[in-house]
Amino acid sequence: MNRQNVEVVKAVDEQNQVQEQEQNEEQVKQPPQIRMKRFNFIILLVVLVFLSVGITAFALSFGKEPHPVVIGGKSEREEFNKLYKAYDILKEGYFEDLDEGKVINGAINGMIQSLDDPYSAYMDEEAAKQFHHSVSSSFEGIGAEIQEKDGHIVIVSPLKGSPAEKAGLKPKDLVLMVDGKSIQGMSSTEAVMLIRGEKGTKVELTIQRPGVEGTIKVPIIRDEIPIETVHGEMLEDGIAKVQITTFSTNTSKELVETLNGLQKKGMKGLVLDLRQNPGGLLEQAVAISSMFVPEGKILFKVEDRNGNVKEYKSENEGNPEFPLVVLIDSGSASASEILAGAVKESANVPLVGQKSFGKGTVQTAQDFPDGSNVKFTTAKWLTPKGNWIHKKGIQPDYKVDLPDYVNLPYLDPKLELKLGSSSNEVKTAQQMLAALGFNPGRTDGFYDEQTVKKVKEFQAANKLPETGAITGDTTQKIIEKLQEKIIKDDPQLEKAVEVLKKEMK
């Protein structure tokens, strides 16, 4: 919700990215119990003066001693003399001509990296262009949010229905290589540029999954990722489920439209699903939180580096008349956590699922005249009760884990697994078959006659050639059926419905 630079190059917590045209758009008509006010949200913007001064300094004449900046007749910023001198030395003495723009970008990027903050980043003109574009439109890529952590690129969360989700990427997967190229030590911005690409093109990620031996190669076909962020459906007994996949420009409007539609279908209670939601625009988290938190109650607090704390309160004119339960997991981050913390502590809404990601800082972004951009952390955010959840996450009221098969590694359809094979891939395939009801009797990675028998049974049940080997279409069908089972058999959602029914009595 950082969180970090992202594969989708999403503006995570960048309030200043909300387009001004949104202020003039017609508001969605809402029933009395689902009303929102337009928020005049005060953006905490910290201007990094040293960056603008540094860029100006790079334009000084070459071959001369660097000059300190003079303001009002007084020498200032003398700490930059060493930087100017280093530039002059390279310009005069390096054995090849300098790429001046590259050197300047590198210097700025070095400043940001020295902060040791995975949520601060420098983006060149091209990366910044994609950053702005993807806040409120579709984009092409794999649909996963990433962050840089301890020199590694980590998957925060794949987006719902994205190629990344279909390929089996999970939160906390470490991305080691992209198309065979190591990305160790790269910034998230650099990794994004390698992972993104045109629809229909292929990218192969080599990942390391916690708790799984060895590495896994995951081929993914890039696609267009639409920014449709709200998905609603009726379940049973007047209970509706609404999933918010990310907080984009129009998410609050999408949510209002969805809730209005569900009310017409007889909604009496709501499960709000924030699982695998990596965050997004803070302004949207504020608007949506206010829909479920009573007017005047605290949504969250912001603490600056001097310890000054500002409270942000709900501006809701009326509370929904239906009870609410919220689902969270380890992929719920940033703006998702703001919403979860707000409803939990200020509206007594129960949380179900797993501990959230733990991203408790706020970022803003500032453009340079050439179109490049710097994103940096401006403050901490705290829950209504003053808790800082950074690196700790929010604990659910009802902890519910998912079945082990949900975290099984990706199985490459190009591999051929057959009688006599012995490998980790065979072990994965056996575990998948067992989860689907075709238990081979062993999951130790050895492909025996019993495994052949169960594979043939699976193939017959799915109208596939009964070869007894796992490859190609058989592998694809196993993956497809497992994904269907994961969606259908959802113990976290079942628990949320159980809790909600008690709330509805």
User: Is the same domain home to 219 and 244?
Assistant: no
Q: Who has greater pLDDT, 312 or 29?
A: 312
User: Is the same domain home to 235 and 347?
Assistant: yes
**Strands (DSSP E) found in 186-297:** 202-208, 216-221, 223-225, 230-234, 239-244, 269-273
Report the amino acid identity of residue 435.
A
C-alpha to C-alpha distance for 282 and 11, rounded to whole angstroms: 9
What's residue 390's pLDDT? 96
Mean pLDDT of the chain: 82
Phi/psi for 204 (5° steps) reads -115, 120
What's residue 119's pLDDT? 87
C-alpha to C-alpha distance for 169 and 166, rounded to whole angstroms: 8
What average pLDDT does range 405-429 have in this prediction?
Answer: 92
DSSP, res 413: T
C-alpha to C-alpha distance for 420 and 85, rounded to whole angstroms: 66
pLDDT digits (tens, 9 = 90+) for 460-471: 999 999 999 999
Do the strands 373-382 and 69-71 form a parallel or antiparallel pair, or are they unpaired?
A: unpaired
Close Cβ partners of 362 (under 8 Å, ≥ 6 residues apart) = 13, 44, 282, 302, 377, 378, 379, 380, 381
Classify residue 490 as left (phi > 0), alpha (psi -120 to 50) or beta: beta
**CATH code of the domain in which 306 resides:** 3.90.226.10
What average pLDDT does range 69-80 have in this prediction?
Answer: 53
43 in a domain, yes or no?
Answer: no
Do the strands 239-244 and 69-71 form a parallel or antiparallel pair, or are they unpaired?
A: unpaired
What's residue 427's pLDDT? 96
Do the strands 239-244 and 269-273 form a parallel or antiparallel pair, or are they unpaired?
A: parallel
Q: How many structural domains comprise the chain? A: 3
336 in a domain, yes or no?
Answer: yes
User: Is the same domain home to 479 and 337?
Assistant: no
DSSP, res 252: H
What's residue 232's pLDDT? 95
Q: Which of 74-78, 144-148, 195-199, 268-272 has the highest mean pLDDT?
A: 268-272
Q: How many CA atoms lie within 13 A of 141 on its CB side?
A: 24
Q: Which range is least confidently modeled, 131-140, 186-195, 297-306? A: 131-140
Helices (H), 140-295: 163-166, 188-195, 251-264, 282-292
C-alpha to C-alpha distance for 80 and 124, rounded to whole angstroms: 22
Domain boundary among 343, 369, 399: 399
C-alpha to C-alpha distance for 466 and 150, rounded to whole angstroms: 47
425 in a domain, yes or no?
Answer: yes
394 in a domain, yes or no?
Answer: yes
Would you say 8 and 195 are in contact if contact means Cβ atoms under 8 Å apart? Answer: no
User: Is the same domain home to 475 and 330?
Assistant: no
Tokens of 352: 């179900």
Q: Who has greater pLDDT, 142 or 4?
A: 142
467 in a domain, yes or no?
Answer: yes
Please write down the long-range contacts of 460-466, taking CB distance under 8 Å and 24 or more positions apart: none
Domain boundary among 225, 260, 276: 225
Task: Please report which confidence band the pLDDT of residue 337 belongs to, taking 50, 70 and 90 as the band edges.
Answer: very high
Query: Whole-prediction pTM value?
Result: 0.70
Nearest 5°: the CA angle 211, 217, 220 is: 120
Close Cβ partners of 203 (under 8 Å, ≥ 6 residues apart) = 142, 178, 179, 194, 195, 197, 219, 220, 222
Task: Report the SS3 class of residue 391.
Answer: coil
**CATH code of the domain in which 182 resides:** 2.30.42.10
User: Is the same domain home to 265 and 342?
Assistant: yes
Q: Which range is least confidently modeled, 261-270, 306-315, 361-370, 397-406? A: 361-370
Q: Who has greater pLDDT, 310 or 68?
A: 310
Q: Would you say residue 60 has pLDDT above 50?
A: no
389 in a domain, yes or no?
Answer: yes
What average pLDDT does range 68-85 have in this prediction?
Answer: 62
User: Is the same domain home to 305 and 392?
Assistant: yes
Domain boundary among 175, 205, 225: 225
User: Is the same domain home to 206 and 142?
Assistant: yes
Q: Would you say residue 95 has pLDDT above 70?
A: yes
132 in a domain, yes or no?
Answer: no
How many angstroms separate the Cα of 36 from the Cα of each of 74, 289, 314, 316, 495? 52, 10, 10, 6, 29
User: Is the same domain home to 216 and 302?
Assistant: no
305 in a domain, yes or no?
Answer: yes
Closest to 324 in 3D by CA, of 255, 421, 415:
255
Strand partners, 353: 328, 399
User: Is the same domain home to 200 and 321?
Assistant: no
Residue numbers of the domain that contains 475: 411-488
**CATH code of the domain in which 429 resides:** 1.10.101.10
Task: Please report which confidence band the pLDDT of residue 201 belongs to, taking 50, 70 and 90 as the band edges.
Answer: very high
pLDDT digits (tens, 9 = 90+) for 275-301: 989 898 889 999 999 999 999 999 999
Task: Please report which confidence band the pLDDT of residue 318 belongs to, taking 50, 70 and 90 as the band edges.
Answer: low
Sign of the four-CA dihedral 116, 249, 230, 337: positive
User: Is the same domain home to 245 and 296?
Assistant: yes
| DSSP-derived secondary structure for 314-377 | ---SS--SS-EEEEE-TT--THHHHHHHHHHHHH---EEES------EEEEEEE-TTS-EEEEE
User: Is the same domain home to 165 and 293?
Assistant: no
What's residue 319's pLDDT? 62
User: Is the same domain home to 346 and 241?
Assistant: yes
What's residue 392's pLDDT? 96
Q: Would you say residue 241 has pLDDT above 90?
A: yes
Residues with a known catalytic role: 334, 345, 359
What's residue 410's pLDDT? 81
What's residue 130's pLDDT? 63
